[in-house]
Amino acid sequence: MTQTFEIAIIGAGMAGLSAATALSEAGHRVVLFDKSRGSGGRMSTKRTDSGDLDMGAQYFTARDSHFRQALQGWLDRGWVAEWSPRLFIRNEDELLESPDDQQRYVGSPRMTSLSRGLLENLEFISQTRITGLQHTDDERWELQDDTGASHGPFDRVVVATPAPQAVPLLGAAAHLEQAAAQVQMQPGWTLALGFAEPLDTAVEACFVRVGALDWISRNSSKPGRQGLDTWVLQSNPRWAMGNLETEKSQVCRELSTAFAEVLNIDLPKPAFELAHRWLYARSEGNCNWGALAAPEKGLYVCGDWCLGGRLENAWISGQQAAQTLLERK
Ligand code: FAD
Ligand code: NAI
């Protein structure tokens, strides 16, 4: 009979959920921890009276055959849907339609529908920030949280947080700690706007190559979204870096102005606005690590930063961490 492990996964974003589903399907007892109230991490949705607003990942693409297979299951369950926006690109001089044949997907009816679906039947301890991992004399792991409480023991631990948040948890394996410490993550600002009257534009999504923004999407054009005509604007990392401590009201003003310039319209007063700062939005450059491991200690690490900041990469990294753990048994 194969041995059943107790496995802690720290971080319930796409990477942690991916590892959790694979390990749980292999028959192990998995417990997910997250400092936030819900799951999904940077695949996040803010639920408001004006509609559900995807503040983090906007959509995803699927290139890897295993990921496409998982995606088919999610489509069948109705957790995700195709999104084919009218897509534009904004250069210095002009706003041009930029259609392509890239199929894009979104959680349905909100981005977090996917994380909620993946979390089904998994044990989840939310609002618990893990601050330390202790390797016990019998080679198991105790987890400490920021209230001083202890969780465990666990036979294996998978750290699935952004790199800077993984570093303080990896002291027991110097090579993992050093690898995570060398990954730089860039910040970003996201602004959501809602308008009582739909804006007069054909744009549903736009890659922006000028000014403060790098992405605009008409959130309400995604399948299943209800409420006002809502938009999500994302700053580029350079602008965010220069505005890390800027007041939210000022961020709203500056990104709204940039938005009006991109669309070349006079913007009416929004009925709703919400700004969110991401300290760790995306990793700089792409490592090709898949996942990291100190198998002799039963410690594994995954996250989008192990492959490059995309949802698909986060999922692949989680699968690879699970695979490495299962091979070591
Ligand atoms: P995360 O989603 O960050 O999950 C890590 C989790 O760990 C979080 O839930 C966090 O709360 C938790 N955590 C951290 N530290 C601790 C701790 N000490 N204890 C407990 N829990 C902890 N990707 C795309 O493919 N398409 C896009 O359009 C896209 N747009 C994006 C837009 C924005 C604004 C951002 C920020 C990201 C975007 N991405 C996009 C990237 C995508 O969101 C990420 O690649 C993916 O969600 C990362 O998943 P992850 O599991 O690696 O990390
Ligand atoms: P994708 O294939 O749609 O886009 C990849 C990149 O190709 C885009 O960023 C864009 O620069 C370019 N591109 C694609 N289609 C285009 C078109 N029709 N016209 C002009 N340019 C086009 O999606 P993929 O590879 O899955 O990437 C995920 C997305 O997530 C990217 O857009 C990336 O910028 C975004 N992202 C945003 C983060 C943030 O913090 N704002 C963090 C991580 C990812």
- Tell which atom from ligand 1 comes closest to the C-alpha of 313: 45
Q: At 54, which CATH number?
A: 3.90.660.10
30 located within any domain: yes
Same-domain pairing of 267 and 163: no
In angstroms, rounded to a whole number, what is the distance separating the alpha carbons of residues 2 and 215? 48
- Tell which atom from ligand 1 comes closest to the C-alpha of 36: 11
In angstroms, rounded to a whole number, what is the distance separating the alpha carbons of residues 313 and 122? 22
- The answer for residues whose C-beta is within 8 angstroms of residue 260's C-beta and 6 or more apart is 266, 267
The answer to whether 171 and 248 are in contact (CB under 8 A) is: no
Q: Tell me the mean pLDDT in the region 161-187.
A: 97
Ligand nearest to the CA of 318: 1
2 located within any domain: yes
Ligand nearest to the CA of 91: 2
What is the average pLDDT value for the chain, to the nearest integer?
Answer: 96
Residue 24 has pLDDT above 90, yes or no: yes
Q: Which residues, judged by CB distance below 6 Å to any ligand atom, belong to the binding site of ligand 2?
A: 60-61, 87, 89, 98, 100, 102, 188, 207, 215, 234, 281-282, 309-310
206: its two tokens: 């736009």
The model's pTM is 0.98
Burial 110-137 (b: 16+ CB within 10 A, else e): bbbbbbbbbbeebebeeebebeebebee
Q: At 295, which CATH number?
A: 3.50.50.60
Q: Tell me the mean pLDDT in the region 39-60.
A: 96
Total structural domains in the chain?
2
The answer to whether 170 and 180 are in contact (CB under 8 A) is: yes
41 located within any domain: no
Tell me the Cα Rg of the chain.
20
Q: Quick one: what percent of the chain has pLDDT higher than 90?
A: 96
Same-domain pairing of 218 and 257: yes
Residue 105: how many other CB atoms lie within 10 Å: 20
40 located within any domain: no
Q: Tell me the mean pLDDT in the region 119-128.
A: 97
Q: Which of 310, 311, 313, 316 to mutate to test the pocket of ligand 2 (most atoms within 8 A of CB)?
A: 310
Same-domain pairing of 169 and 228: no
Same-domain pairing of 198 and 98: yes
121 located within any domain: no
118 located within any domain: no
In angstroms, rounded to a whole number, what is the distance separating the alpha carbons of residues 84 and 97? 13
Task: Provide the residue range defining the domain that includes 248.
Answer: 47-111+184-286
The whole-number pLDDT of residue 215 equals 98
The whole-number pLDDT of residue 328 equals 82
Q: Which of 55, 64, 215, 280 to mutate to test the pocket of ligand 2 (most atoms within 8 A of CB)?
A: 215
Q: Tell me the mean pLDDT in the region 99-125.
A: 97
Same-domain pairing of 197 and 73: yes
245 located within any domain: yes
Same-domain pairing of 173 and 246: no
Residue 34 has pLDDT above 70, yes or no: yes
Compute φ and ψ for 305, nearest 5 degrees: -65, -15
Same-domain pairing of 177 and 72: no
Same-domain pairing of 304 and 292: yes
42 located within any domain: no
The whole-number pLDDT of residue 2 equals 73
Q: Tell me the mean pLDDT in the region 260-270.
A: 96
Residue 160 Cα to ligand 1 midpoint, Å, equals 9
Q: Which residues, judged by CB distance below 6 Å to any ligand atom, belong to the binding site of ligand 1?
A: 10-16, 33-36, 41-43, 56-60, 129-130, 160-162, 165, 188, 190, 234, 278, 281-282, 303-304, 309-311, 314
Same-domain pairing of 206 and 255: yes
Q: Is residue 313 within a helix (H) or strand (E), and if so which, with residue range?
A: helix 311-328
Q: Where are the beta strands (DSSP E) in the chain?
A: 6-10, 29-33, 45-48, 51-54, 80-83, 87-90, 95-97, 104-107, 123-125, 130-135, 141-145, 150-154, 156-159, 185-195, 205-208, 213-218, 229-235, 272-283, 292-294, 299-301
DSSP string, 150-167: EEEEESEEEE-S-HHHHG
Q: Tell me the mean pLDDT in the region 136-157.
A: 96
Ligand nearest to the CA of 55: 1
Same-domain pairing of 291 and 313: yes
pLDDT digits (tens, 9 = 90+) for 274-319: 999 999 999 998 899 999 999 999 999 999 999 999 999 999 999 9
The whole-number pLDDT of residue 329 equals 61
Same-domain pairing of 228 and 316: no
Report the nearest-CA residue for atom 15 of ligand 2. 100
User: Which residue, 256, 271, 286, sits at the end of a domain?
Assistant: 286
The whole-number pLDDT of residue 241 equals 97
Q: To 10 degrees, what angle do helices 112-119 and 65-77 make? A: 90
Residue 257 Cα to ligand 1 midpoint, Å, equals 28
Same-domain pairing of 227 and 267: yes
pLDDT digits (tens, 9 = 90+) for 215-238: 999 999 999 998 899 999 999 999
The whole-number pLDDT of residue 1 equals 46
Report the nearest-CA residue for atom 23 of ligand 1. 310
